[in-house]
Amino acid sequence: MLYLFMEKNQVIETLNNHVTVRDFSPEPISDEILSQILNASRRSPTGSNLQAYSIIVVKNPETKKKLAALSGNQKHVETCPVFLAFCADISRIEIASEINNRKLAKGLELTIVSTIDAALVGMSANTAAESYGLGVVMIGGIRNDPKAVAKLLNLPKGAYVVYGMCIGYPKDGKLPAQKPRMAEELIIHQEVYDTSNARELVQEYDKELAKHYDKMGINQSKLAWSAPVSKKLESVRRADLKKNLEDLGFVLD
């Protein structure tokens, strides 16, 4: 067992080396590599074998430009060679119900399951892409206007884009410095949740992240994590999201 533990593990190395990439080379991704990434990601776990997700591959420059605007004018959505839209998708389950003369009972659980399915397959695609030396950045801003995105991508009723993903080779082969994560003790709990030193560990992370940003010349606060996070979430974000998703065929009650 010790030998197995000490063996080089490429999956663990890929996960541990993850960084967010926003500056992409114009070099295209081959169809073969993209196919390998997407089809490997389809082997991700899925709730009750529902496979309640879909992936939209976008390469068209005009479509990416429009998606960039809808995502809050994030330029990398436009400049990346490939943009992937990961959708929660219950439309095929609707078809299954029709085939068997049954009515689909929609509810919050089905919405959560389909959203988790999209998250799982996207994380697999992220890791697979990085294993090929590609860079990736997730795009949550794609939820700014779910209905406009759905119309642009011709999504069926019962599908919405949970998040997007920009994929491409890092510009000039350069990766940004890796951002520190919170302390292991703050995230991983043994047997039961432990809150005994949560405040102290958050404050320590503020300091560690501030040092990282100082080196990059972009630090805006000594409380480098808690200050921007608390400011950003002082008001409800995307307050109309519930209605938008309901209009797209999901139930959140």
Per-residue pLDDT at 7: 72
Span(s) in the chain for CATH 3.40.109.10: 2-176
Res 8: pLDDT: 75
Q: What percentage of the chain has pLDDT greater than the value 70?
A: 98
pLDDT digits (tens, 9 = 90+) for 227-237: 999 999 999 99
pLDDT tens digits, one per residue of 79-122: 999 999 999 999 999 999 999 999 999 999 999 999 999 999 99
Q: What is the pTM of this model?
A: 0.94
Q: Decide: 236 and 242 in contact? Cβ < 8 Å.
A: no
- Give the phi and the psi of residue 154 in degrees, each rounded to 5: 60, 45
- pLDDT tens per residue, range 120-137: 999 999 999 999 999 999
pLDDT at site 220: 83
| pLDDT for 1 | 46
Q: pLDDT confidence of 4, banded at 50, 70, 90?
A: low
CATH class name, domain 2-176: alpha beta
Q: What confidence tens digit (pLDDT) does each residue in 217-228 have?
A: 988 889 999 999
**What percentage of the chain reaches a pLDDT higher than 90?**
94
